[in-house]
Amino acid sequence: MDKKQLEERLIAEEEDDLKKRVWNESKRICKIAIPSIMTRVASFGMVVVTQSFLGHIGDVELATYALIQSIFVRFMHGILMGMSSATETLCGQAFGAGHQNMMAIYLQRSWIVDGITATLMVPLFIFATPIIRFLGQEEELAVKAGPISLWFIPTIYSFVVSMTTSMFLQAQLKNLIVGWLSMASFVIHVFLSWVFVIRFKWGVNGAMAAVNMSGWIMVVGQLVYVIGGWCPNTWTGFSNAAFLDMFSILKLSISSGVMICLELWYYSILVLMAGYTKNATVAIDAFSIW
């Protein structure tokens, strides 16, 4: 074999090796990314499905839901999502360092911190009518906001558990179960929305009941998986240590929560400003659908 043939053979081997490494890396990325995509699509899809069914009930109901969803729920969702990212950071570090026994403690601390935060935000939903009226929105929307906003209180508590538990599972490369549970809850949500709104004619109450039931089905599934023995190395049971050293996780959670909350509020401002237009109900409906 002459020198030229040897060089060509080496180049071919390097190309084959590169293709193999790219393929293997792509499989690893897909293994992580696809379940995350499933989770995000299902989460967003539940909002879209609820909007679709409320659109069959009435324009005012759709606009009111859009206001609460865009202003209050997005605000709360952003804070809790950011705070849950602190759980992902701490659990990821613990898993990588081999301190898997600490992951359950971090998870429980996050439940406590996020749960207290959600409770402090509950008055936003209780006093939705005067708040929306204070923001200068139409009186009809403000009045309708009161009953609908109360339905979101169980939803924000489901966020507390589902977001933190998802981060706990993803940190140990168990995000496939999160993806499947998300898709299952989405399918159930579509079915329940159809049954409650179309078949039983329960209106707004039926649509919001479907939101809460499907959201908590996701939570129950995650807790059964974590506590039921499928995370033997990382779930060591409930511990009093979860109440110790709360300041560090509180500091990390708040900084992350504020950052993501501000990012999500860019879109909320559009819906809020739509409420000041001449035909506010139609404008809010259009912006929320867009």
Q: Find how far residue 167's CA is from the centre of its chain.
A: 11
pLDDT of residue 122: 94
Rounded to 10°, the helix 152-170/139-150 angle is 60
DSSP string spanning 4-56?
HHHHHHHHHHHHHHHHHHHHHHHHHHHHHHHHHHHHHHHHHHHHHHHHHHHHH
Identify the pLDDT of residue 14.
67
Q: Are 222 and 169 in contact (CB under 8 A)?
A: yes
pTM: 0.85
Query: What angle do the packed helices 59-68 and 280-289 form, to 10 degrees?
Result: 60
**3-state SS assignment for residue 232:** coil
Per-residue pLDDT of the chain (290 residues; tens, 9 = 90+): 566 666 666 666 666 777 788 888 888 888 888 888 898 899 889 989 999 999 889 888 888 898 898 888 888 888 888 788 888 888 888 888 888 889 999 999 989 988 998 999 999 999 999 999 888 888 888 898 999 999 999 999 999 999 999 999 988 888 889 999 999 999 999 999 999 999 999 999 999 999 999 999 999 999 999 999 899 989 988 988 888 877 777 777 777 767 777 766 766 777 778 778 777 788 887 777 77
- Crossing angle of helices 139-150/59-68, nearest 10°? 70
What's the rounded Cα separation, in Å, for the pair 199 and 77? 31
Rounded alpha-carbon distances, angstroms, from residue 42 to 55, 194, 234: 20, 17, 27
